[in-house]
Structure 1
Amino acid sequence: MSIATLVLGESGSGKSTSLRNLDPEKTGIIQCINKPLPFKSSGWKVELNVARTNDPVKILDILRAHNKDIIVIDDFQSVLVDEFMRRATQRGYDKFTNIRKIAWDTFNLAGALAEHSRVYILTHSHTDDNGGIHVKTVGKMVDQVITPEGYFTRLC
């Protein structure tokens, strides 16, 4: 069983910048938004240890096939938002069911990889009316069914 850690923070709080502290030889990054890393990135190379995709199926395939000690998904919330926007004209609840399934599949797999693996899922946070900090998703239709924080033994 792998160690899955959920890293929550507001936009600009340093989630992606913290990756500079990881060894590029031992780490793979799945960038869900196609943008440069926010630090000097000489050790990080697309196709070598950086994959760029927001496709949930490809993300799961990369997680299953990775050969690094550490794998990072940056920024998972964008995967949910992108799926929501791809289906913006679709009516009904099916799109929310699919988005919940994407989150559920990803969180379950993050904790079920090889024992030596560590998976970090970086995502945006949301503060509720009571001051509690939670994973920012795409709304109540997702939040009423799945509690992302419950799938992780470690939250940062």
Structure 2
Amino acid sequence: MRQSRCRIKEDVMGLPVLIYGKSGSGKSRSLKFFDEHEVVLLNTERKELPFRKRFRKTGSSDDINQIIATINKNPEKVYVIDDAGYIMTHLFMSQHRNKKGNASFEMYDDIADAMYGLVKRIKTDVTDPDKIVYIMFHEDTDDFGISRLRTIGKQLDRKVCLEGMVTICIRCMSENGNHFFRTVTDGSDITKTPEDMFESPEIENNLKLVDDTIRDFYGWEKYKPKEDKQS
């Protein structure tokens, strides 16, 4: 049984965690193991969840300022942005038709600024040090065969490397109908987690398990259902 590391980082505010994978690989499904009161779901595309459970607190904003404000004003410790890639898509679709020449480059700068700002502000502007924000993305394969976050084109990738801004980047995969998470890279993707955080390179498709493991690793308090808090 892994013991808690008790390494609370006083200089860190919120903790951004990237979760990426193909459509249908189980990214949204992995939320089903959370208690309905445990997580705040920021559903940018307003899509239905692939399971019966419904979370008590949900939102659908793709505005970075509003997302950060939502994280700060709520007491919950777990936040999920599903799917953050649509923040880029919505910005692109709302601007691209009238952008030509230098204005087109400025549009990509704006999108890069937004995504950089999202990850950066979770680390600097979220006021509680044990709030974890799971940022979900679809994946894409680059010219070198590396699976990475899907963004709006190579120009954006050259401007900002989101996975370089985080310590935890977990890949969601599916084989023969079985969903699972990868916690370390096999050389063909951008997956990474701290050494000794997870016991296996492949774990259950269960974001609650991931959250508990991260909190154990850093010595942060884990969620207790209401009935347990009263006992």
Q: TM-score, normalised by structure 1?
A: 0.90
Instruction: Give yes or no for the alignment of 1:150 onto 2:158.
Output: no
Instruction: Give yes or no for the alignment of 1:123 onto 2:131.
Output: no
The answer for the alignment partner of 2:22 in structure 1 is 10
State which of 25, 40, 54 in structure 1 corresponds to 2:62: 54
How many angstroms apart in 1 are the aligned matches of 2:35 and 2:164?
28
Q: Structure 1 residues 22 and 15 mapped into 2: Cα distance closer, same or farther (>3 Å)?
A: same
Residue identity (%): 26
State which of 22, 29, 32 in structure 1 corresponds to 2:34: 22
SS in 2 for 1:63: helix
SS in 1 for 2:66: helix
Shift of 1:51: 0.6
Shift of 1:94: 1.8
How many angstroms apart in 1 are the aligned matches of 2:107 and 2:74?
29
Unaligned stretches of 5+ in structure 2?
Answer: 1-11, 171-231
How many angstroms apart in 2 are the aligned matches of 1:117 and 1:108?
14
Greater mean alpha carbon deviation, residues 136-145 or residues 69-78: 136-145
CA contact under 8 A between 2:36 and 2:53: conserved in structure 1? no
**Quick one: higher RCO (CA 8 Å, sep 6+), 1 or 2?**
1
Shift of 1:90: 2.7
How many angstroms apart in 2 are the aligned matches of 1:98 and 1:123?
19
State which of 120, 126, 140 in structure 2 corresponds to 1:108: 120
Alpha-carbon displacement from aligned partner over 1:36-77 (angstroms, at most 9, x marks no partner): 1111124x14xxx11112233322322333321101100000
Runs of 4+ in 1 over 4 A off after TM superposition: none
CA contact under 8 A between 2:18 and 2:137: conserved in structure 1? yes
The answer for the alignment partner of 1:134 in structure 2 is 148
The answer for the alignment partner of 2:82 in structure 1 is 74
How many angstroms apart in 2 are the aligned matches of 1:75 and 1:7?
10
Alpha-carbon displacement from aligned partner over 1:10-60 (angstroms, at most 9, x marks no partner): 111110111111222221010001121111124x14xxx111122333223
Letter in 1 for 2:157: D
CA contact under 8 A between 1:111 and 1:152: conserved in structure 2? no
Aligned-residue CA RMSD (Å): 1.5
Unaligned stretches of 5+ in structure 1?
Answer: none
State which of 26, 41, 59 in structure 1 corresponds to 2:53: 41
